[in-house]
């Protein structure tokens, strides 16, 4: 545990460049998505205890706060994780692209903003519409 805290301290304080920020966000997004998927598997498991138990959990899922969490947590995390993964795949399969890694990171962020803002806006508007 102490080693994990030490490494976290190193990662936060070391003055890396774009790649380090991209990696840290990738890890945070990855852990977040994992937690959500684990929860999702757990709620399916609750079906074994009958509809009442499962419906109680669905009630929680339909709460306003949880819907916000889907848009500003899960969706944001999955989109970032996927785009950053594509950037890493590009560099891994074409090592010569490494010299453009900072530019690739900015392009990735641009695509992220272009994809996230309109789709999140649509999701939010539907949420407030009640649909």
Partner 1 sequence: MNVTLRIQRFNPETDSKPHWEEYPLDVEPSDRLLDALHEVKWHHDGTLAFRRSCAHGICGSDAMTINNVNRLACKVLMGDLGARVTVEPLRGFRIVKDLVVDMEPFFEKYRSIKPYFINYDPDPPTERYQSQEERERYDDTTKCILCAACTSSCPSYWGNREFLGPATIVQAHRFIFDSRDQGANERLEVLNDRDGVWRCRTIFNCTGACPREIKVTQAIGEVKKLLLFNRMV
Residue partners of 46: CB distance under 8 A and separation at least 6: 53, 54, 57
Contact region with partner 1 (CB under 8 A), list: 28-36, 43-51, 67-75, 87-95 = 87-95
Using CB under 8 A as the binding rule, whether residue 73 contacts partner 1 is answered as no
Using CB under 8 A as the binding rule, whether residue 7 contacts partner 1 is answered as yes
- Annotate 34-48 with DSSP letters as a single string: HHHHHHHHHHHHGGG
Nearer to partner 1, 17 or 125 (CB): 17
In whole angstroms, what is the distance from residue 112 CA to residue 115 CA?
5
Min separation Cβ 101 and partner 1, Å:
6
**How many Cβ atoms sit within 10 Å of the Cβ of residue 32?**
18
Contact region with partner 1 (CB under 8 A), list: 41-49, 55-63, 88-96, 114-122 = 88-96
Contact region with partner 1 (CB under 8 A), list: 6-14, 58-66, 71-79, 119-127 = 6-14
Which residue of 62, 96, 130, 131 would you call a contact of partner 1, by CB under 8 A? 96
HSE value, Cβ hemisphere, 13 Å, CA-based, for 65 = 2
Reported residue count of the chain is 131
The CA-atom distances, in angstroms, between 103 and each of 8, 16, 108 are 27, 16, 8
**Site residues for partner 1 per CB under 8 A:** 6-7, 10-11, 13-20, 22-23, 88, 91-93, 95-96, 98-99, 101
């Amino acid at each position: 545990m102490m080693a994990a805290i030490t490494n976290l301290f190193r990662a936060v304080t070391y003055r890396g460049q774009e790649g380090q920020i991209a990696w840290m966000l990738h890890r945070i997004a990855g852990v977040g998505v994992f937690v959500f998927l684990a929860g999702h598997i757990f709620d399916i498991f609750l079906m074994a205890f009958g509809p009442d138990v499962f419906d109680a959990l669905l009630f929680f899922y339909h709460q306003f706060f949880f819907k916000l969490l889907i848009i500003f947590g899960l969706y944001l995390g999955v989109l970032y994780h996927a785009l950053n993964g594509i950037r890493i795949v590009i560099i891994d399969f074409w090592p010569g692209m490494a010299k453009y890694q900072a530019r690739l990171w900015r392009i990735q962020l641009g695509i992220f903003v272009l994809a996230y803002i309109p789709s999140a806006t649509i999701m939010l508007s539907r949420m407030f519409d009640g649909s």
